[in-house]
Amino acid sequence: DAGVTQSPTHLIKTRGQHVTLRCSPISGHKSVSWYQQVLGQGPQFIFQYYEKEERGRGNFPDRFSARQFPNYSSELNVNALLLGDSALYLCASSLVLGGAVYGYTFGSGTRLTVV
């Protein structure tokens, strides 16, 4: 079985540019969450989506946005990149049962470097 698939694996962008990161969840998982992991720190929650709706949002600026598609895959978009956006961006997929999220399986992440 395929796990959580994220693309690209590495990315280098210039300050001010825009970036789109992609995630495909485990088959049967309808919820996708995004986390930012700065080097040397624990992951921080950015967004959670299921049934194509935003269900949770962390303390991130409006430059960060996301969406979920009918096939449950997801995109994370970051506009006007700052040096501080350099991080590992993790996607996690989860089952949804009775409206509640169960379990997180993380992908290997996208390493974003902003120069």
Partner 1 sequence: QQQVKQSPQSLIVQKGGIPIINCAYENTAFDYFPWYQQFPGKGPALLIAIRPDVSEKKEGRFTISFNKSAKQFSLHIMDSQPGDSATYFCAASASGSARQLTFGSGTQLTVLP
Residues lying near partner 1 in the complex (CB under 8 A) are found at 4, 33, 35, 40-45, 48, 55-56, 58, 90, 92, 99-101, 103-109
Helix (H, G, I), strand (E, B) or coil at 65: strand
Quick check: 92 and 106 in contact, CB under 8 A?
A: yes
**Residues with Cβ within 8 Å of residue 13, at least 6 apart in sequence:** 19, 81, 112, 113, 114, 115
User: Could you tell me the smallest distance in angstroms from the CB atom of residue 77 to partner 1?
Assistant: 19
Closer Cβ to partner 1, 48 or 114, answer by number: 48
User: Could you tell me the smallest distance in angstroms from the CB atom of residue 20 to partner 1?
Assistant: 19
Closer Cβ to partner 1, 43 or 76, answer by number: 43
Query: Phi first, then psi: what are they for 84, rounded to 5°?
Result: -70, -10
Closer Cβ to partner 1, 21 or 90, answer by number: 90
Helix (H, G, I), strand (E, B) or coil at 63: coil
User: Could you tell me the smallest distance in angstroms from the CB atom of residue 15 to partner 1?
Assistant: 25
